């Protein structure tokens, strides 16, 4: 394969240029105590801090990273396009994120089409096997079969699932109307696949993999209702599901969005300050938040927007309830979809998708995802079972993902599953979660309130869910402060 000597290969030692690093409040200006300490400067934390600030509360925002945005951030490469290292996709049927975007005048979108018509489809079975172009007719037949299977997979009520989750933004309301929702939540994705009549083993395998692929987990580890819930949010319309979850990116980038929200927050903020422990001697005493560097701040209320995947790394005193601890560890599976953004000068007539079926490949799948300056942008998602690392031989595999080679100009990545402040992507709920843990995880722990997209009812795992839950917890904290 011919290869230019130009360009560079990403190395994990390099940092990126981005706007997400902002200054902390100078130490001399910090207070020892606040009305509220908000831990985490992702979208949920920024929004709670902003809204409680609006309501006259004295707020301190504490962030472990050197930047805002949490599981969303945008790299500015100096080219026209912005590269999203984490959460990316928005749509106007995601109500809160769209509403906040219009509020910030950031509702210009970049459109991409992951699977255009006549798109070239490539498979690569292992590191050694060459990439093989898939027969388009066979691919088309397979897609149609899969669509039919998925429709049956969701059709647990003869109405495509519509009767089970009529109102996907409110668990309590949904389960009150439909006790069968809780029954259904006991099924894993694999359990539901096993229920399907008229399927052979290969079809079952394909269906299970497809249904679970969105979360990057094994089909045994996710509740069937997680998948059904996303369908409900998208009006039980598969075309809408694709458009709502992988078509529109924010033109200015998620970092510009986070900055706009931060701009409305006038309280204190400190960055690069991981929290060690959260202690409250009693319900009526202030809560003490101790940082890893030993510094301590106190407040009447604390809002933790620490992701569920890594919440166990914080010491709580008194300790969390056993049920909460269990919910934050055994009851969920972190989605492990690391994302690699490859800028390539290679041209592909009608787009290009690649899938790597199991084996020893770090990548699971990929698709062309618009352009980046004069280059094409190839988004690769990693294989959940094969831990990805940024070793050069892993990166070099990108060059072998097409029979005629993929020329790599540059590669951008953030290994979320290794990130101590993320621990992967969203926590996927295991079967039985709703009945046992849902209410418990949202309950405050004394004066500590739990918040974030992981806790949302609606677009959980999406930016919109971060806002939804921020609104809930803002109310919770306001009520609790007014009672004191």
38 is in an annotated binding site: no
Q: Which stretch binds its own copies (CB under 8 A): 94-102, 291-299, 353-361, 400-408?
A: 94-102
Q: Which of 169, 265, 271, 433 binds its own copies (CB under 8 A)?
A: 169
64 is in an annotated binding site: yes
Instruction: Judge residue 414's burial from the number of C-beta atoms within 10 Å of its C-beta, 0-12 exposed, 13-18 middle, 19 or more buried.
Output: buried
Residue 202 in contact with its own copies, rule: CB under 8 A: no
- DSSP alpha helix (H) spans, 358-449: 392-396, 433-442
DSSP 277: E
Residue 92 in contact with its own copies, rule: CB under 8 A: yes
**In whole angstroms, what is the distance from residue 352 CA to residue 379 CA?**
11
CA distance readout (Å), 133 to 126, 127, 130, 245, 310:
15, 16, 10, 26, 40
Task: Kindly tell me which of 352 and 459 has the beta carbon lying closer to its own copies.
Answer: 459
Task: Kindly tell me which of 215 and 248 has the beta carbon lying closer to its own copies.
Answer: 248
Contacting residues for 91 by C-beta, under 8 A, at least 6 apart: 98, 243, 244, 245, 247, 248
CB of 47 to its own copies, least distance (A): 10
Residue 443 in contact with its own copies, rule: CB under 8 A: no
Polymer length of the chain? 484
CB of 262 to its own copies, least distance (A): 14
Task: Kindly tell me which of 195 and 235 has the beta carbon lying closer to its own copies.
Answer: 235
Task: Kindly tell me which of 97 and 310 has the beta carbon lying closer to its own copies.
Answer: 97
Residue 472 in contact with its own copies, rule: CB under 8 A: yes
Task: Kindly tell me which of 127 and 177 has the beta carbon lying closer to its own copies.
Answer: 177
**In whole angstroms, what is the distance from residue 89 CA to residue 204 CA?**
29
Segment 254 to 313, residues that bind its own copies, using CB under 8 A:
264
Q: What's the longest Cα–Cα distance across the chain?
A: 71
CB 363 within 8 A of CB 132: no
Q: Which of 31, 235, 329, 404 binds its own copies (CB under 8 A)?
A: 235
Q: Which stretch binds its own copies (CB under 8 A): 292-300, 310-318, 430-438, 467-475?
A: 467-475
Q: Which stretch binds its own copies (CB under 8 A): 34-42, 223-231, 410-418, 469-477?
A: 469-477
Task: Kindly tell me which of 160 and 366 has the beta carbon lying closer to its own copies.
Answer: 160
Residue 430 in contact with its own copies, rule: CB under 8 A: no
Residue 191 in contact with its own copies, rule: CB under 8 A: no
CB of 237 to its own copies, least distance (A): 7
Task: Kindly tell me which of 148 and 166 has the beta carbon lying closer to its own copies.
Answer: 166
List, as one string, the DSSP characters of 304-370.
E---GGGGGGSEEESPPPHHHHHHHHTTEEE----EEEEEE----BTBEEEEE-STT-SEEEEEEEE
Residue 480 in contact with its own copies, rule: CB under 8 A: no
**In whole angstroms, what is the distance from residue 52 CA to residue 265 CA?**
9
337 pairs with which residues across the strands? none
List, as one string, the DSSP characters of 32-101.
SEEEEEEE--SHHHHHHHHHHHHTT--EEEE-SSSSS-TT--EEE-SSSSEEESS--EE-TTSHHHHHHH
Residue 108 in contact with its own copies, rule: CB under 8 A: yes
Task: Kindly tell me which of 94 and 121 has the beta carbon lying closer to its own copies.
Answer: 94
Q: Which stretch binds its own copies (CB under 8 A): 70-78, 95-103, 272-280, 432-440?
A: 95-103
Q: Which of 98, 214, 271, 412 binds its own copies (CB under 8 A)?
A: 98
**Collapsing DSSP states into helix, strand and coil, what is residue 192?**
helix
Residue 30 in contact with its own copies, rule: CB under 8 A: no
The single residue listed with the structure tokens 């984490």 is 86
The two three-digit tokens of residue 296, written as one number: 């301590």
Q: ∠ CA(75), CA(80), CA(84), 5° rounding?
A: 30
275 is in an annotated binding site: yes
Segment 40 to 59, residues that bind its own copies, using CB under 8 A:
54-55
Q: Which residues of this protein are in contact with its own copies, per CB under 8 A? A: 54-55, 92-96, 98-100, 102-103, 105, 107-109, 111, 166-170, 173, 235, 237, 240, 264, 458, 467-468, 471-472, 474-475
Residues that constitute the known binding site:
63-64, 275
């Amino acid at each position: 394969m011919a290869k230019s000597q130009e360009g560079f290969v990403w190395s994990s030692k390099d940092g990126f240029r981005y706007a997400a690093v902002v200054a902390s409040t100078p130490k001399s200006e910090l207070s020892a105590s606040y009305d509220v300490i908000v831990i985490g400067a992702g979208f949920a934390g920024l929004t709670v801090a902003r809204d409680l600030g609006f309501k006259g509360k004295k707020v301190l925002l504490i962030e472990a990273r050197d930047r805002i945005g949490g599981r969303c951030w945008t790299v500015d490469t100096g080219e026209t396009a912005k590269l999203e290292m984490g959460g990316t996709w928005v749509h106007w049927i995601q109500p809160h994120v769209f509403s906040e975007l219009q509020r910030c005048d950031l509702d210009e979108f970049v459109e991409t089409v992951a699977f255009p018509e006549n798109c070239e489809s490539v498979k690569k079975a292992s590191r050694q096997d060459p990439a093989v172009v898939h027969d388009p007719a066979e691919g088309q037949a397979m897609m149609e079969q899969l669509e039919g299977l998925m429709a049956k997979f969701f059709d647990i009520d003869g109405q495509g699932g519509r009767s089970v989750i009529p109102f996907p933004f409110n668990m309590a309301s949904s389960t009150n109307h439909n006790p069968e929702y809780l029954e259904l939540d006991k099924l894993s994705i694999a359990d539901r696949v096993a229920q399907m009549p008229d399927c052979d083993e290969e079809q079952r395998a394909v269906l299970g993999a497809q249904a679970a692929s969105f979360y990057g987990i094994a089909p045994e580890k996710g509740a069937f209702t997680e998948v059904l819930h996303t369908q409900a949010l998208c009006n039980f319309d598969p075309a809408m599901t694709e458009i709502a979850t992988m078509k529109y990116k924010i033109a200015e980038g998620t970092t510009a969005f986070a900055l706009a929200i931060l701009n409305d927050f006038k309280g204190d903020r400190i960055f690069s300050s991981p929290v060690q422990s959260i202690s409250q001697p009693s319900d009526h005493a202030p809560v003490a938040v101790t940082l890893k560097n030993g510094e301590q701040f106190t407040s009447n209320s604390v809002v933790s927007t620490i992701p569920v995947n890594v919440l166990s790394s914080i010491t709580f005193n008194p300790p969390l309830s056993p049920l909460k601890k269990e919910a934050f560890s055994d009851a969920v599976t972190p989605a492990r979809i690391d994302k690699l953004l490859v800028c390539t000068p290679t041209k592909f007539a009608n787009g290009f998708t690649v899938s790597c079926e199991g084996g020893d490949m770090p990548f699971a799948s990929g698709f062309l995802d618009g352009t980046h300056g004069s280059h094409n942008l190839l988004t690769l998602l990693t294989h959940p079972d094969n831990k990805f690392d940024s070793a050069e031989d892993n990166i070099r595999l990108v060059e072998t993902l097409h029979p005629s080679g993929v020329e790599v100009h540059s590669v951008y990545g953030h290994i979320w599953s290794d990130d101590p402040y993320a621990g992967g992507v969203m926590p996927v709920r295991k079967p039985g979660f709703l009945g046992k843990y849902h209410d418990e995880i949202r309950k405050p722990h004394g004066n500590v309130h739990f918040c974030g997209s992981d806790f949302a009812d609606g677009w959980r795992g999406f930016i919109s869910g971060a806002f939804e839950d921020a609104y809930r917890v803002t109310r919770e904290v306001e009520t609790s402060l007014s009672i004191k």
